[in-house]
Structure 1
Amino acid sequence: MRARTTSGSTTNNKLTRLVEARRREINHLMTSNSTPQKRANPPRQASRKPDLKNLTPIFDYEMFREAQAKAAEHLQEQTRDVRFGIKCIELGRYEIDVWYNSPYPEEYRYLPKLFICEYCLKYMTSAEVLKRHIDKCTLRHPPGNEIYRKGTISFFEIDGKQNEIYCQNLCLLAKLFLDHKTLYFDVEPFLFYVMTEYYSGGFHIIGYFSKEKNSSLNYNVSCILTLPPYQKHGYGKLLIDLSYLLTKLEGKVGSPEKPLSDMGLISYRSYWRLIILEYLCNHKAKEISIKDLSTETGVNAYDIISTLQAMGMLKYWKGKHLVLTRQDVLDDFRVNKRKKSSFKRIDPSCLRWNPPTNN
């Protein structure tokens, strides 16, 4: 029994030594593999620029460096243009700086300059392409019906459903100068009234306004714009005047869609003031009704009230709005009207238009 025990003990000791030896070997291998091996550092290049001094004459080398610098500046300028988008457009005889971004297709949106045909409003990438297009373009006026002409000024009525591409291009053009405008492609429910000036054998766009064919809120203008070269010449009031004349012929009272742009609000306030003062100067009755004033001018009663309040010519007494005919304001208006003839008006006798029977 004892001999057997001794033999078993010896065997166990051998196994223990073998296990320990194997464990030390495994630990050594794991330690050697986990230790990061040092790599030889690659030689660092002092400069990424190729050393051409010994390969070319100094004159050619300097010319190459100058061309390289100009190319870098041009690339930087192109990168800046891509970031900010279109900077200006060429439209007819005018080059116009834009104010806002417009969602033109991707290949046009980031050009520094966009070239636009002033007749069909198609947009192009270069002056050469524009010139070739104008030689082939069959339009010399906006599509649609000419409804007004006096002197060199004409208005064309354009249905968004019948001339979809033109109206979409018009909306894209307008977005370059209107921050709040969101209508680009859904033009079918709208009518567009484009004002033009005739010269050099064509009708050149000045501005436009659009209106819904069926407005539940009786908006007579959805969007209105006078192009920058024609601003501050009374054309904005002419656009507004036509919109109210059409409204009166429809037997309605209208108002522009809100909110108005800052420039639009200034134009409308100025127009409402002139219309109201002109009505008060010609009105002989002692009592003046807001309702009658609204019906005869086509201006919404709320727009009349806000304008009278701004002029200090309205008083609220016993639940009624009373118009105060301030003689000093009316006298100043008469004097300024005689001195200044910049208030352009639509001549109703030159209008050839009937209210639509079905839209």
Structure 2
Amino acid sequence: MPEAILPRDEPIIKTPGSPSHTRRASLKVLSRNIDKVVLGNLLFDTWYFSPYPENVLFGSDHHSSKTSSNGEHRNGHHEKPIAPIISKLHVCPYCFKYSISPVDYVSHLQMHVKENEAGPDHWWPVPRTALKVYDWGGYTVWDIDGEQEKLYCQNLSLFAKLFLEQKSVFFDTAGFHYFVLTYSPTPDPSTPNAAKTRGRRRTSSGTNRDFGLKTQVMGFFSKENLSWDANNLACILIFPPYQHRNLGQLLMAVSYKLSGWEWEDSIIGGPEKPLSTLGRKSYLRFWSERIARFFMSQSADAEGQTLFGNVSKKRITFAKEEMTVKEIGDRTGVLPEDVIAALNEMGVCDALPRKWKKKSGDHQVPELAEEALPTTMLIKRSQILAWAERNNVDLVGPVKEEGFLGEWALSDLNEDESVDTSSAEGSVQS
């Protein structure tokens, strides 16, 4: 059972002092209204409330309870929260249509099975308007327009809310694009990420092959069409049965690639903030690995296979290279504040004695004759390597440049801009 799930008789309610308790009332975490969900032939617990239409779940003659779903009377007096009402919701693993009737659910799945048996021209795991943006090792990322495929994206958002604490967009999907991750098994077991896991692997009693459908929809991230903060991601979710397989890192890497930070005159962005507790933990890991590969003389996408390049073994001392936090961010596509957060998380920075410089001018006050230079931190590559070994960091990044399609395939890194491998130490100014 996932750690985020409380026992069945204890509805998920955020108590005072929790990270989300200070958010406005409309975003408070409500009691779970659905206990378990069936996705394909997988059965697992939900984590949070999702605003599925009550007339669909309970029938058109259903009337709302006098007690609100967050455990309070309408007059403001507290009352014990009501337990989840729906014990099991069936959700299609491809179009995400939902039903409480097992008979209707199986009948709907048979429609997908027949389309699949008719051939690839008759069945897609995503809407037909979707565009492939990444395809490698059996993993495919599809770009779906939230305005063109409104019903699909609404159903996907409602399902995602069962496992996302702070998601707030469900029905107004026109301003977003949804990037859906699917996986089709390949015969080659050596393909990247095919068998790689981090942490405990989740097990299940079956696979979607029982329905004759080999392709699995594993997760997605959404992105605003127009973000004033240059956010490259609004929300992200890997479905619970497929978590702890490094797939979140794959989607994060795709989101940074699609933001076009490598292009001329582009703007570096990041995920929408504030991040949830689990989201911040995942992104700190992603930023740390990305920066670690950069310092270990890999490209931003970690395509190289060697650690220190062609450094001569006869060389005993190494030159130092001074870089600002912004310069590191420009080379890795990470915002300066995220670079600082990652370096702090890694614990690889050693503070150097602060330097001072004389101020120019004939009428300076003696106490102000000197000013402090920016703080300088020393980062040794040996510390980066030790951190990477402790955390089982793969030198090869979660995505392959060759896997990107269309316009994104044209933005490969310039070989002339490869990272200098002659430096074993670097200093960072912030």
TM-score (norm 2): 0.59
- Aligned runs of 1:224-239 on 2, under 5 Å? 224-239=236-251
In structure 1, the residue corresponding to 2:321 is in which secondary structure?
coil
Aligned residues: 274
2:126 aligned counterpart, secondary structure: coil
Change (3 A) 1:310 1:321: farther
Residue by residue, what CA displacement relative to the aligned partner does 1:250-275 show, whole Å, maximum 9, x if unpaired?
A: 53311111121211111000111111
For residues 332 and 216 of structure 1, the distance between their equivalents in structure 2, rounded to whole angstroms, comes to 39
Distance 1:235 1:223, change over 3 A: same
For residue 93 of structure 1, what is the amino acid of its counterpart? N
| 8 Å CA contact retained: 1:308, 1:314 | no
1:22-101 to structure 2, matched below 5 A, reads 85-101=33-49
CA–CA separation in structure 1 for the residues paired with 2:381 and 2:32: 52
Residue 108 of structure 1 corresponds to which residue in structure 2?
57
Aligned to 1:274: 289
CA pair 84-246 structure 1, distance change in 2 beyond 3 A: closer
**Letter of the structure 2 residue corresponding to residue 209 of structure 1:** F
Please state how far the C-alpha of 1:289 moved relative to its aligned partner: 2.5
Higher deviation after alignment, 259-268 or 195-204: 195-204
Deviation at 1:127, TM superposition (A): 2.0
* Residue 152 (structure 1) aligned with residue 158 (structure 2): no
State the one-letter code of the partner of 1:169. N
For 2:46 and 2:395, the matched residues in 1 are separated by 27
User: Secondary structure at the residue paired with 1:325?
Assistant: strand
Question: Structure 1 residues 129, 215: closer, same or farther in 2, change over 3 A?
Answer: same
Match of 1:329 in 2: 383
Task: Please report how far the alpha carbon of residue 93 of structure 1 lies from its aligned counterpart in structure 2 after TM superposition.
Answer: 2.9
Written as runs of structure 1 = structure 2, the 5 A alignment for 1:1-359 is 85-106=33-54, 107-108=56-57, 110-137=85-112, 138=115, 139-143=123-127, 144-199=130-185, 200=209, 201-247=213-259, 248-249=261-262, 251-282=266-297, 286-312=321-347, 313=349, 315=351, 317=354, 318-333=372-387, 335-336=389-390, 341=394, 345-354=398-407
Unaligned runs of 5+ in 2: 1-7, 12-30, 59-84, 116-122, 186-208, 299-318, 355-371, 409-430
In 2, are the aligned partners of 1:140 and 1:203 still within 8 Å (CA)? no
| Percentage of pairs with the same residue | 32
Question: How far did 1:225 drift?
Answer: 0.7
Q: Per-residue CA shift, 1:257-303, capped at 9, x if unaligned? A: 11212111110001111111111121886112322211221111111
Q: Distance in 2 between matches of 1:242 and 1:280?
A: 21
Instruction: Assess, with a 3 A threshold, how the Cα gap between structure 1 residues 214 and 249 changes in structure 2: closer, same or farther.
Output: farther
Give the partner amino acid of 1:308. L
> Could you say if the C-alpha distance between residues 343 and 282 of structure 1 is closer, same or farther in structure 2, counting changes exceeding 3 Å?
closer
SS of the residue 1:87 aligns to: strand
Q: Can you list the C-alpha shifts for 1:54-78, whole angstroms capped at 9, x where unaligned?
A: xxxxxxxxxxxxxxxxxxxxxxx9x
Does the C-alpha gap of structure 1 residues 141 and 270 become closer, same or farther in structure 2, counting only changes over 3 Å? same
The amino acid across from 1:108 in the alignment is L
1:315-350 per-residue CA deviation (whole Å, 9 max, x = no partner) reads 59535353421344223145458x664976111111
Larger radius of gyration: 1
Which structure has more relative contact order (CA 8 Å, sep 6+)? It is 2
Range with bigger deviation, 345-354 or 182-191:
345-354
Alpha carbons of 1:217 and 1:340: their partners in 2 closer, same or farther (altered >3 Å)?
A: closer
Mapped to 2, the partners of 1:343 and 1:104 lie a distance apart of: 41
Deviations 1:127-167 (A, max 9, x none): 21111112224554112112211122111100101100111
Residue 170 of structure 2 aligns with an amino acid whose one-letter code is: Y
- Aligned alpha-carbon RMSD (Å): 2.6
Distance 2:285 2:38 in 1: 31
Residue pair 2:37, 2:46 contacting (<8 A) in 1 also: yes
TM-score (norm 1): 0.70
Confirm or deny: 8 A CA contact 1:234 1:344 kept in the other structure: no
Larger fraction in helix = 1
Uncovered stretches (5+) of structure 1, i.e. residues with no partner? 1-76
